[in-house]
Amino acid sequence: MKKSFLVLCSAVLMLTSCAQKPATTKTQTKQTTMSNPNDTTPIVKTEEEWKKFLTPEQYEVLREKGTERAFTGKYYLNKEKGVYVCGACGNELFTSDMKFDSHCGWPSFDKEIAGGKIKTHIDTTFGMVRTEIMCAKCGSHLGHLFDDGPTETGQRYCVNSLSLDFKKQ
């Protein structure tokens, strides 16, 4: 009984961060930008087509709503100037000027690029209520949106590096 209680408490503590489930940590090997980022035509693919196109790690995060481990992502500490795009379709999502260090372990942004590039959905998994963010063009999971950001917007888009590609300026 005591052991079960400790396991339950540990699980609750783990789930209070942005994380959902750990993704494997292999590096990206496939090119993911598929389309013109200014093209707003929705991308529709079967899950089998996504599996052929994305690495297994990207597929787990982008299509199965997984989460990479905190403090391990490729773009977590990136300070270069440029544009962050959807790792599945190339849709432009954030600029480097929107990025800030939230110390949460994932790339964080205080707003998105204008024009409906991101759609949201209430996520009630793991007994929590959060706002999931997804690419509006291909529907891929990016991360979650929180109202605890330190900038003037008060928002923190907590995004998996595996959900992103970066176009350096």
What one-character-per-residue DSSP string does 7-19 give?
Answer: HHHHHHHHHTSS-
Mean pLDDT of the chain: 84
Give the tens place of pLDDT for each residue, 9-22.
344 333 344 444 43
Q: Which one is catalytic: 86, 89, 138, 158?
A: 158
Domains, the chain: 2-168 (2.170.150.20)
pLDDT class of 36 with cuts at 50, 70, 90: low
Residues 6+ apart with CB under 8 A from 141: 61, 62, 63, 64, 65, 66, 132, 133, 134, 160, 163
The pLDDT score that the predictor gives to residue 5 is 38
Q: What is the mean pLDDT of residues 25-36?
A: 43
17 neighbors 103 (Cβ within 8 angstroms): no
Flag whether pLDDT at 134 surpasses 80. Answer: yes
Separation between Cα atoms, residue 122 and residue 55, nearest integer Å: 27
Give the tens place of pLDDT for each residue, 47-91.
999 999 999 999 999 999 999 999 999 999 999 999 999 999 999
Separation between Cα atoms, residue 69 and residue 128, nearest integer Å: 19
pLDDT class of 41 with cuts at 50, 70, 90: confident
Annotation marks residue 158 as catalytic:
yes
